[in-house]
C-alpha cells in the first residue's frame, strides 16, 4: 500500500546547499516557530547535521522551485529530524512522503522526531 496521495507532485530530492537558504527560510516562515537563515546555517555546520530539499517544476512559476526541506542529525543507527516542512501551496501532494521514502532508502535507519 502506497502512502502517497492519489494526486502527487513529482519532486527531485537533493542535498541542501547554502544557496538554498533563502528558499528554505521562505518555507519556514509559514510555520511557527520558524527557523531563521542564521539558525539553519549554524545547524548545518555541525558535523552530523544534514539538509535535504525537495524540488519540483511548478508551471505557474515556469521554473524549478524548492517545495520542501528536511534537516536532520545522523547518528549511528538512527536519524533525528530537527526540522521538516513543505511549502503550504504544495502540501497534501506527497512531497513529505517522498522525502521520507528517499531518506529511508538511502539510510537503513530508524527515525526519531525531535521534540522541544
CATH superfamily ID and name for 15-113: Gcn5-related N-acetyltransferase (GNAT) (3.40.630.30)
Position 44 confidence tier, pLDDT thresholds 50, 70, 90: confident
Q: Are 80 and 116 in contact (CB under 8 A)?
A: no
Average confidence (pLDDT) over 19-23: 90
Give per-residue pLDDT as tens, 48-104: 999 999 999 877 767 789 999 999 988 887 788 888 999 999 999 999 999 988 876
**Quick one: cell of 46?**
555541525
Amino acid at each position: 500500500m502506497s502512502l502517497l496521495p492519489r494526486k502527487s507532485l513529482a519532486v527531485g530530492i537533493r542535498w541542501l546547499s547554502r544557496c538554498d537558504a533563502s528558499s528554505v527560510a521562505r518555507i519556514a516562515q509559514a510555520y511557527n516557530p520558524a527557523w531563521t537563515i542564521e539558525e539553519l546555517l549554524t545547524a548545518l555546520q555541525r558535523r552530523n547535521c544534514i539538509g535535504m530539499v525537495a524540488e519540483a517544476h511548478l508551471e505557474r512559476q515556469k521554473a524549478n522551485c524548492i517545495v520542501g526541506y528536511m534537516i536532520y542529525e545522523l547518528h549511528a543507527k538512527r536519524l533525528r529530524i530537527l526540522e521538516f516542512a513543505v511549502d503550504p501551496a504544495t502540501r497534501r501532494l506527497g512531497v513529505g512522503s517522498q522525502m521520507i521514502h528517499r531518506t529511508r532508502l538511502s539510510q537503513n535507519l530508524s527515525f526519531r522526531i525531535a521534540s522541544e
